[in-house]
Structure 1
Amino acid sequence: MSGPMDVVGHAALDYLFEVEHIASPNESYPITSYEVLFGGGGSNIAAAMAQLGGNSRLVAAVGDDFSTSGYEQHLDNLGVDLSLLYHIEGEESTKAFVYTDPNHNQSSYWGSSSKLSDMETPALDFVHLAPSEASFSARVAQKSEFVSFDPGQDLVTYSKEHLITILDNTDILFANIHELKRVKEMTGRSFDDLKQSISTIVVTCDSSYHKNKKIDIPVVAVKAVDPTGAGDGYRAGFLLAFRKGLPFEVCGKIGSTVASFEVECVGCQTNLPTWGAMKKRYEENFGALPL
């Protein structure tokens, strides 16, 4: 497969708040600090792919503040193709409000992303569906040649019909064990059922299954500061390696290596590795990279 790796998902501004506790009803706790950083699963993956040297194209709905916030220039500087963005006049871009307490609570304002349901659906050669508007993702899955799917935290917004439509057109499924459990509950399908229809299932923090063969992928041990973008980094590394034709075990190890950079700094796009930096750390942990 040639051409860009398209990524459907949110382009969000992440508001990261430090708090001692999340307030209970009739209580108030001060916010000790906050910062605004670039995020959104779709943008995070496209940005990480581009920094690694991949040809990524972002498919997202953005608001007026996408440009004024500096986000557009940031992605352009990384080399992300922005030709398939939907600019929604009068709307704000998606925002995530993350309150860092021991439970890492999070709330999101969809803003422009909610308008994707009304947008014309592109037909794509190779697309990764990050968390996004469900009806749009379902239409993209039906029209695209190769589909990678990560329902992520937006799984609660999917109808059974939309979820089944996407799964029936999915080639690679990414999920953690909790998301996988919910997928099975929503669809009534067992893990064996999913393995029959999806050639590759990547269960993060667990194992990978490719055509019923189980592959265990270890993590790369680093000092973790912020886990927020780890999953997006993993997907970016895995999919870029997959497009390069590398074995699935190597894809998983590259994903794990990219994720290790993501967790070392606060923010999802503040410590994106180049291919050279990723390769150096990969070989320190796993031996020679066959590329």
Structure 2
Amino acid sequence: MSALICGSMAYDTIMVFHDRFKNHILPEQVHILNVSFLVPDLRREYGGCAGNIAYNLKLLGSEPLPMATVGKDFQPYAQWMSYCGINQEFIRTVEESFTAQAYITTDMDDNQITAFHPGAMSHSHLNTVPTDRGIKLGIVAPDGKDGMVAHAQQFAAAGIPFIFDPGQGMPMFNGEELLEFVELATWVTLNDYESQLMQERTGLKPEELAKKVKALVITRGANGSLIYTDGQCLEIPAAKPKAVLDPTGCGDAYRAGLLFGLLQDMDWATTGRIASLMGAVKVETAGTQNHSFTLAAFRERYHENFGHSF
């Protein structure tokens, strides 16, 4: 039994400007902005929600099935997925497009200027949720808008339980559209900011949203997470990272932990703690797919953090 992961695959090009943007952007001249930043440090990372979630779920010993649309430049990423042993059966190449990519420039104050090109991600609706692969559950993560809508409907029609994870795709949807997702979904996961936005757009408090699904998960970074289920709210403590280097991708790592627990039919207290530890492991390494561990080592860290085993 496996998990189908619907979402984006992307390249992240990350550049570091060894100064501060504020020293080069004059507020009184922003209407004629024309600036150039020298960026001596540059790295290109493999990313995208589907790619990140699949990578982390594979580390936990599961067999993820990422489903995404990619471009003609995807070969290096495909080679990396092959190296990691991740199934690519449901990765569709759109030859006239580039793979989605983000260009991120960070200054010494950790301010960021980002340009995002959706590329092939805009064609995600061309993929269809398969119904003949023994898929136990799925997730609808940030992707092209039409694809997110179609895949949620297809999961529901096929009777496959799934997580709705709007993430950075939330601004694409109004309150009515978000409620339609919630009505179709089995579980919903949000970070604390997204939770506030969901409340504003739907008019529903977390307790009210939770009544529409089997569980509502709200992550709060270093403050842990909340899981609303069966009329109660479980407080999941944050695991302790050995270092805090890069929070990018922590949410995807956490969601991989949720999928792992659900695939194993674990209780929510255990599932939430596994997800919490996945986020802590990720934050210790720069980039979204550069961390690694053995399952035995992960189990040991779990015991160290929470005082029991799974």
What TM-score results when the alignment is normalised by the length of structure 1? Answer: 0.91
What amino acid is the match of 2:307?
G
Query: After the TM superposition, which residues 129-278 of structure 1 pair with which residues of structure 2 at under 5 Å, given as runs?
Result: 129-144=140-155, 145-205=160-220, 206-222=225-241, 223-278=243-298
1:111 is matched with which residue? 119
What amino acid is the match of 2:259?
L
Pairwise CA distance, 1:190: 3.0
Q: Residues 85-144 of structure 1, C-alpha deviation per residue, up to 9 Å, x if partnerless?
A: 111012110102223342445432111001123444545641111111222222221221
Alpha-carbon spacing, 1:149–1:273, altered in 2? closer, same or farther (3 Å):
farther
The 10-residue stretch of structure 1 (4-13 or 73-82) with the greater mean CA deviation from structure 2: 73-82
1:21 is matched with which residue? 20
8 Å CA contact retained: 2:8, 2:49? yes
The 10-residue stretch of structure 1 (111-120 or 277-286) with the greater mean CA deviation from structure 2: 111-120
1:71 is matched with which residue? 77
Pairwise CA distance, 1:51: 1.8
1:12 is matched with which residue? 10
Residues in 1 aligned to 2:240 and 2:283: alpha-carbon distance in whole angstroms? 10
Q: Which has the larger radius of gyration?
A: 2
Pairwise CA distance, 1:83: 0.7
Query: After the TM superposition, which residues 26-105 of structure 1 pair with which residues of structure 2 at under 5 Å, given as runs?
Result: 26=33, 27-67=35-75, 70-101=76-107, 102-105=110-113
Residues in 1 aligned to 2:71 and 2:204: alpha-carbon distance in whole angstroms? 37
Q: Residues 144-178 of structure 1, C-alpha deviation per residue, up to 9 Å, x if partnerless?
A: 12010111112112244542321111111111121
What amino acid is the match of 1:196?
K
Gaps of 5+ in 2: none
Residues in 2 aligned to 1:21 and 1:28: alpha-carbon distance in whole angstroms? 12
8 Å CA contact retained: 1:142, 1:165? no
Residues in 2 aligned to 1:77 and 1:28: alpha-carbon distance in whole angstroms? 37
8 Å CA contact retained: 2:122, 2:145? no
What amino acid is the match of 2:214?
S
Does the residue aligned with 2:150 lie in a helix, a strand or coil? helix
What amino acid is the match of 2:20?
H
Residues in 2 aligned to 1:168 and 1:180: alpha-carbon distance in whole angstroms? 16
8 Å CA contact retained: 1:225, 1:263? yes
What TM-score results when the alignment is normalised by the length of structure 2? Answer: 0.86
Q: Residues 161-206 of structure 1, C-alpha deviation per residue, up to 9 Å, x if partnerless?
A: 5423211111111111210111122233332331110120111014
CA RMSD of aligned residues (A): 1.9
Residues in 1 aligned to 2:91 and 2:130: alpha-carbon distance in whole angstroms? 11
Q: Residues 237-284 of structure 1, C-alpha deviation per residue, up to 9 Å, x if partnerless?
A: 121022112211111111111111111111000003332221121111
8 Å CA contact retained: 2:104, 2:115? yes
Residues in 1 aligned to 2:126 and 2:65: alpha-carbon distance in whole angstroms? 20
Does the residue aligned with 2:309 lie in a helix, a strand or coil? coil
Q: Residues 38-87 of structure 1, C-alpha deviation per residue, up to 9 Å, x if partnerless?
A: 111111001111121101000100111111xx211211222222111111
